[in-house]
Amino acid sequence: MAPTALILVLVVAGAYIRYTKSVKYHHPPGPAAVPLLGNVHQLPMEYQQRKLAEWGRQFGDVVFAKFFRTPVVVLNSKEAAVDLMEKRSAKYSDRPPFILLKELCVDCPANIAAAVATNPPSPSLPSMGWDSVINNLPYGERFRKHRKWLQDAFTSKAALMSYRPIQRRETYTLLWAGAMVLDIAYGYRVTSLDDRLVETAERTTVETVIAGSPGSMLVDFFPILKGIPLWMPGSGFKRQAFHVKTLVRKTLDTPYEMVKRAMMAGTAAPSLTASLVEEALAEGTLTAEHEEDIKGAAGVVYAAGSETTVTTLKTFVLAMVLHPEVYQRARAEIDRVVGPERLPDFEDREHLPYLECVVKEVFRWNAPVPLGVPHRLNSDDVYRGHDLPDGAMVIPNIWWMTQNPEVYSNPEKFDPDRYLRMSTDESERMDPRNVVFGFGRRICPGQVFADASVWLAAANIIAALDLSFAKNALGRDIVPDAAFISGFVSQPKQFKCAFRPRTEQTLSLIAHMNAVNIVTA
């Protein structure tokens, strides 16, 4: 048989096998797919959550699509997400391969050196080095180990209470999220805005997003591409991955080694890293692989925690600038409950119901991670009479869950009062924090800590600072747009505003509380 004819036979046979496999399934409704591309050509380059929501309005809250050959299940409602990702979490807690982030093997060091202007990374390590963080781990024993560590660190009441002095200190100094998580993860105290560890970690996070968010690159759908050499056209994703990898290794390795040196010197401050190392040393389990797990667990505290928490705080500030009436109403409540002699603290939270509505609305108005991180179905399933295939990528459209007008009226409007118009049970059921932190066994383990940090910062900003429009050269207000950047994390577009101490008494109170918490934290 001629080579051309043989190739044709193989192509036809492969197509027939795929067809016979597909016809046995009764998939949920979804957009018509085309050969090879599936539906990926229908996705815009930006704000993909809007297209997925459009599919939801057309086909229902559970949509079936294909991104190239990968089956995809899009969940456009909280009900469907809870039914599958929580009630059937044993099947829905895996992750897609994320080859770009954690599986791509490098070429020989000589080729890397020619393509990358920095020192070549070790060829034994994954391209970006994020394989040891819980966000990217496949469901299994290693995932459960990381989850237990992080749950112990962020869900027990004792642990959360122990972090309160750090939360207070960083709120009063407004160095905030990056400093808090570095202190908790490594016992490292940030003392300036240009801190080297903060700068490195922030750069690593930004460069990772630029290089490609989870599942967004062709190599994630066509693993064969990971073998192309660096000199070939289209290999730019590998060069960028190698660049990011050097940053990731620095972000994970530098603070870990710093903690180990401090432990040897007997000067280590309490931290997640120090406690895990001490535990492993006592049990005789501090192998290289175990150290990599500790680095990943501590690193994800910074990489995931600070980025989304800072995004939420920026959203809060933008909302308050655009809605001064909300700001003043929340301030009046704080003044009534707290008074002028001190600043708001955690114990005041239950007595500030309007502020609680403001925080809820901040999370709803701009969900920090619009599409979450995709899950992967690890076996065939049936839902509402439809077949969901093994290996499907499962995407929760969190943005639409918080923007669906059938769930939240006038969703584009920042309206804390919407929760006051609800009954207590309805307000709890409609709380956007029930979806923005993820679902099931993949829910963010730092949810309670992050929510408390946002609340404390919001309460103290309102109580202590006047927030208003910035002015241009002519003295006119610079009114920012209520607009958000497209991407894995939905940050507000850059905007200007003006902060001023509310009174001289407030300024003195902040200085006093900062000094007290620096001593006690």
Binding site per annotation, positions for heme: 444
Give the C-alpha separation, 62 to 167, whole Å. 40
Q: Would you say 443 and 485 are in contact if contact means Cβ atoms under 8 Å apart?
A: no
Contact 163, 139 (CB under 8 A): no
What single DSSP character describes residue 41? G
Maximal C-alpha separation, the chain: 91
Cβ neighbours around 125 below 10 Å, total: 15
Whether 300 and 373 have beta carbons less than 8 Å apart is answered as no
Q: Which residues pair with 492 in a beta bridge?
A: 484
Q: Is residue 135 within 8 Å of 102, Cβ to Cβ?
A: no
- Residue 355 DSSP one-character state: H
Measure the CA–CA gap between 6 and 431, rounded to whole angstroms.
59
- Which backbone phi and psi does 312 adopt, to 5 degrees? -65, -40
> Distance between CA 201 and CA 102 in Å, rounded?
18
Give the separation between CA 515 and CA 513, rounded to whole angstroms.
5
- In 262-388, the DSSP E strands lie at 375-376, 381-383, 386-388
Phi, psi at residue 187, to the nearest 5°? 70, 25
Identify any residues that bridge with 273 across adjacent strands, giving them in sequence order. none
Among residues 127, 97, 132, 100, which one has the least CA distance to residue 112? 127
Write the CA distances from 479 to 469, 470, 472, 494, 502, integer angstroms. Answer: 6, 8, 10, 12, 21
- Pick the closest to residue 48 from 369, 283, 274 (CA basis): 369
d(CA 208, CA 127): 11
Annotated binding site: 444
For residue 254, count CB atoms less than 10 angstroms from its CB and return exposed for 0-12, middle for 13-18, buried for 19 or more. Answer: middle
**Residue 510 · residue 168 · CB < 8 Å:** no
Helix/strand number for the chain, H first, E second = 21, 9
Strands 393-396 and 70-75: parallel
